[in-house]
A and B are shown apart, each in its own frame.
Chain A
């Protein structure tokens, strides 16, 4: 029966589309988180495939720290317009202005952690009962134990010891009032799968993923972009180098890779020969051994 065989990317696609459709069927008011990064771009592409020729039956939501690469915002706005999709923008700045969170101080200040409050507030005020995210299990070891359908209590917290067993392709999204689910449709994808899929489907990406000249500085072995809201230490020297993003997040904690890769083929070569994980460039994970687990417990993506 080898004629009825599909490759690993098609099988991952089929699984993810199944999960996304399951969310649309089981929840009343789901939302898909969108950051402009490659994982959420792939997830959104899968959502469009899942409901074609209808429009995606839920809105997207961007938790915006205000510390963005302009290219990512431009990409977001263009994509939403081209596909006729609604994208809610929840601003971390609003959470700061309302006194819900206090801005971190010092040169390493990041709004990454503050996003959790903005996200939970947005989920609560808009009464979303499921929020889909582009998290992958290969990213980080606490994520390796995450379910596709991840149950959150009324405080938005994750209890890793009390997760629902998930068997075959049966997903249990039943919940009590006030609780919600985080759903991770691309759980089983690796960084390589994402890039191969982008190549296979020829998906348009923000220019940041390809090599470009940029003013950068080095902090604790990580190259960061010099943008107006970045505070530099006296000893930090700004250089112009050929770089590209391996992930796109908040500028304050997105490490750039020295690279001259300017096509998807180049990037796949680069990923195949790289010896550090993509989160190795994320300053937020370096804070402690269980930094990710702690943030996830509190309600992070």
Chain B
């Protein structure tokens, strides 16, 4: 195939999250990105026009594009994470569009968990608000590698460079308290399209990249940990057929690092060692497997391995930590508050155990970034630092090093609901 489509086959995938409230122009910005990249279709546009008329909007309300559920349209708010898709010849984008209000912190956390980039909108008229801090804190807590602050509505402050520099300085002062690796700023007007896809004429003083240029070019292949090979076994493939009588493949997704044929590996928790015999993906036999591929690995020796075990390189340098006592930051998701010394199911990679929360160290005020060591009751949308003890040892890395082997969820044993997400310190 020639031309455009062959280029399309070579796109990179970038996931980003947006958080914001109804009036900071988030929907307008998303609408513009989708519209300018031709991801909004005519029939969707017609449906939005019909719905806008019905709900009494004079202009076409692009928020209706993302507010998919009836209750959201009725109340004019976004309740849940909505996923949106668009592509340019360089990249395919997945947007996790999350509501920005404090009562939806859990949805912001969910959207942030897989993102490469966070877009945080700041209204140029109002500057840094509580909500800006909250979004920046969540981006930092969930270790989103890149954060782009879009200083929006520049048209309403006469495209003032001074105003932009002031907001930028305010954010810089705050972000020194956070751990975000890469912070960018773009002055935009989502409504008029300034610096979104095309450069802004009224802001000729700005010589940095447009938002679209950043999204298309920001370097994301180093977002994955390429150093520590971690392979949680998800499923054991045993055909036991005439053609494949002895095939025993360990199926899973490489969480981080890479593995080559002949590499020496150790299986946790048993500690058995072996060598990699093959790395398979259907009829493709590969020399090397790396994150984030899903593969099936066979080993030279016949050892007992099952779901929940982890395969690591023997001479990797850094082995995973191994403990029953874990300290972590959690975000509580459930209406039923955390029960001190309560028992929950803990899921870490493909492994399940039971655990008890042994201590709540402090609760985070995510609007002021202050620690609260007095009130330790943890309810829905709260973020807290806790200690827990699991019934069996977990093999983990700190979340800062590895988003996949450093994360857990807690599940209520009675209702089976996911009640919390945890980032291991």
**Footprint of B on A, CB under 8 Å?**
1-2, 4-15, 17-18, 21-22, 24-25, 48-55, 137-138, 140-145, 160-161, 163-170, 172, 174-176, 187-188, 190, 192-193, 196, 199-200, 265, 268-269, 272, 274-277, 279-280, 289-290, 293
Contact A280 B41 (CB under 8 A): yes
B234 at interface, CB cutoff 8 A: yes
| Interchain residue pairs with CB less than 8 A apart (15) | A5-B221, A7-B9, A8-B92, A9-B9, A13-B294, A25-B235, A138-B84, A138-B85, A141-B67, A144-B82, A145-B69, A145-B83, A165-B109, A165-B421, A167-B113
Contact B69 A165 (CB under 8 A): no
Interface of B is mostly: mixed
B70 at interface, CB cutoff 8 A: yes
Cβ-neighbour of A289 out of B47, B79, B241, B296 (below 8 A): B47
- For the complex, give the distance between the alpha carbons of A280 and B9 in Å: 26
Residues of A within 8 A of B50 (CB): 289
Cβ-neighbour of A172 out of B66, B67, B307, B347 (below 8 A): B347
B residues 110-147 touching A (CB-CB < 8 Å)? 110, 113-114
Q: Identify which of A141, A143, A172, A265 gathers the most chain B CB atoms within 10 Å of its CB.
A: A141
**Footprint of A on B, CB under 8 Å?**
1, 4-5, 8-13, 38, 41-44, 47, 50-51, 54, 65-71, 73, 79-85, 87, 91-92, 94, 106-107, 109-110, 113-114, 221-222, 224, 226, 234-235, 237-241, 243-244, 247, 249, 251-253, 258, 280-283, 288, 290-294, 296, 307, 333, 345, 347, 349-350, 403-404, 407-409, 411, 416-418, 421
B288 to chain A, nearest CB (A): 8
B87 to chain A, nearest CB (A): 7
Query: Which chain B residue shows the least CB distance to A138?
Result: B85
A291 to chain B, nearest CB (A): 11
Cβ-neighbour of A137 out of B85, B91, B296 (below 8 A): B85
Cβ-neighbour of A193 out of B51, B71, B92 (below 8 A): B92
Contact B253 A169 (CB under 8 A): yes
Query: Which chain A residue shows the least CB distance to B14?
Result: A8
Contact A272 B4 (CB under 8 A): yes
Residues of B within 8 A of A12 (CB): 13
Residues of A within 8 A of B42 (CB): 275-276, 280
Cβ-neighbour of A52 out of B13, B82, B83, B296 (below 8 A): B296
**If the complex has contacts A22-B234, A165-B106, A280-B41, are A53 and B241 also in contact, measured as CB distance less than 8 A?**
yes
- For the complex, give the distance between the alpha carbons of A119 and B221 in Å: 42
**If the complex has contacts A50-B294, A145-B69, A168-B407, are A161 and B238 also in contact, measured as CB distance less than 8 A?**
no
Contact B416 A5 (CB under 8 A): no
Residues of B within 8 A of A55 (CB): 239, 241
Residues of B within 8 A of A18 (CB): 234, 252-253, 294
Q: Rank and list the top 9 A-B pairs by shortest CB-CB distance, nearest first.
A: A141-B68, A280-B43, A54-B239, A174-B416, A167-B113, A8-B13, A17-B294, A8-B92, A14-B294
Query: Which chain B residue shows the least CB distance to A273?
Result: B38
Contact A25 B5 (CB under 8 A): no
Cβ-neighbour of B80 out of A8, A160, A174 (below 8 A): A160
- For the complex, give the distance between the alpha carbons of A5 and B282 in Å: 19
Residues of A within 8 A of B244 (CB): 53-54
Query: Which chain B residue shows the least CB distance to A268?
Result: B5
**If the complex has contacts A142-B68, A275-B42, are A25 and B307 also in contact, measured as CB distance less than 8 A?**
yes
Residues of B within 8 A of A176 (CB): 416
- For the complex, give the distance between the alpha carbons of A141 and B51 in Å: 13
- For the complex, give the distance between the alpha carbons of A53 and B285 in Å: 12
Contact B409 A170 (CB under 8 A): yes
Residues of A within 8 A of B409 (CB): 167, 170, 172
**If the complex has contacts A4-B258, A14-B253, A290-B70, are A144 and B84 also in contact, measured as CB distance less than 8 A?**
yes
Contact A188 B94 (CB under 8 A): yes
Q: Identify which of B41, B43, B294 gathers the most chain A CB atoms within 10 Å of its CB.
A: B294
Q: Identify which of B65, B85, B252, B403 gathers the most chain A CB atoms within 10 Å of its CB.
A: B85
B105 to chain A, nearest CB (A): 11
- For the complex, give the distance between the alpha carbons of A200 and B107 in Å: 35
**If the complex has contacts A14-B294, A25-B235, A54-B238, are A200 and B418 also in contact, measured as CB distance less than 8 A?**
no
- For the complex, give the distance between the alpha carbons of A168 and B50 in Å: 37
- For the complex, give the distance between the alpha carbons of A1 and B241 in Å: 39
Contact B79 A161 (CB under 8 A): yes
Contact B113 A168 (CB under 8 A): yes
- For the complex, give the distance between the alpha carbons of A188 and B221 in Å: 20
- For the complex, give the distance between the alpha carbons of A25 and B349 in Å: 13
Residues of B within 8 A of A50 (CB): 251, 294
Contact B11 A167 (CB under 8 A): no
- For the complex, give the distance between the alpha carbons of A137 and B109 in Å: 20
Contact B243 A53 (CB under 8 A): yes
Query: Which chain B residue shows the least CB distance to A52?
Result: B282
**If the complex has contacts A18-B294, A54-B237, A293-B68, are A187 and B83 also in contact, measured as CB distance less than 8 A?**
yes
A144 to chain B, nearest CB (A): 5
- For the complex, give the distance between the alpha carbons of A282 and B4 in Å: 29
Contact A196 B8 (CB under 8 A): yes
- For the complex, give the distance between the alpha carbons of A150 and B51 in Å: 27
- For the complex, give the distance between the alpha carbons of A172 and B419 in Å: 11
Contact B87 A2 (CB under 8 A): no
Residues of B within 8 A of A265 (CB): 1, 5
- For the complex, give the distance between the alpha carbons of A137 and B94 in Å: 11
Contact A8 B12 (CB under 8 A): yes
- For the complex, give the distance between the alpha carbons of A6 and B43 in Å: 33
Contact B13 A11 (CB under 8 A): yes
- For the complex, give the distance between the alpha carbons of A293 and B288 in Å: 44
Contact A277 B41 (CB under 8 A): yes
Contact B234 A168 (CB under 8 A): no
Query: Which chain A residue shows the least CB distance to B233?
Result: A25
Query: Which chain A residue shows the least CB distance to B412?
Result: A174
Q: Identify which of B13, B79, B91 gathers the most chain A CB atoms within 10 Å of its CB.
A: B13
